[in-house]
Amino acid sequence: MITKEEFIALYQQKITRRGADKLLDWMGKADFFTAPASTRYHLSCKGGLMEHSVHVYQRLTRLVAAEYPDGSPYSEETLAVAGLLHDLCKVNFYKEDTRNVKENGVWVQKPYYTVDEQIPYGHGEKSVFIIERFMRLSLEEAIAIRFHMGGFTTAPADQSVSAAFEKVPLAVLLHLADLQASYLDETRE
């Protein structure tokens, strides 16, 4: 389990560009540190989003090291920005509710998460939008974050995912890191 203090220390060590402190402050005032990563799949628990973000960052740094054994073309800051911030679109996105569930023949109320989308702007697009309100992204960072879901959130006829993956290897690596974290590292409910 990753603590809020560990996340903040990692963030402040790796992300130092202008505006990073303001973004971190916004994350703290919002529900980043308590939000789930999903409604019922990977890390659908308090703090799941923060933990998922660290897992993706860890996977991304390992993938980049393996892909570029002679030295990464990406700075530590770029990897931290992409990995730690790729899912900011999920901040203030999930709400807790309850539903009736039958347990041992008795109906009981159980908590669960539901989606309450306030900014219907797209998944990766929304993360880029939020980050850019506070600090500048490089074009590679923005493309990687925008396309970190691969084909999972785009229309089948949309060829931009393929073009992004061909032009920006960081986008492919972030997508793979997100998949690995979600399906290999994190529990499913």
pLDDT score of 144? 96
pLDDT score of 180? 92
pLDDT score of 151? 72
Question: Which tokens in the block code for residue 114?
Answer: 């539901």
| Residue labelled with tokens 């402040």 | 12
Calculate the CA 130 to chain-centre distance: 12
pLDDT score of 112? 80
Residue type, 9: A
pLDDT score of 39? 82
pLDDT score of 126? 94
E-strand ranges in the chain read 94-103, 106-115
Q: 109 forms bridges with which residues in the sheet?
A: 100
The answer to whether 82 touches 141, Cβ cutoff 8 Å, is yes
Question: Which tokens in the block code for residue 67?
Answer: 């892909």
The answer to whether 39 touches 112, Cβ cutoff 8 Å, is yes
- Mean pLDDT, consecutive 10-residue stretches, the chain (189 aa), reads 94 98 98 89 86 96 97 97 96 88 89 82 90 98 93 66 88 91 78
Task: Provide DSSP, 43-102.
Answer: T-STTHHHHHHHHHHHHHHHHHHHH-TT--SS-HHHHHHHHHHTTGGGTTTEEEEEEEEE
Q: Which residues contact 162 (CB under 8 A, 6 or more apart)?
A: none
pLDDT score of 156? 57
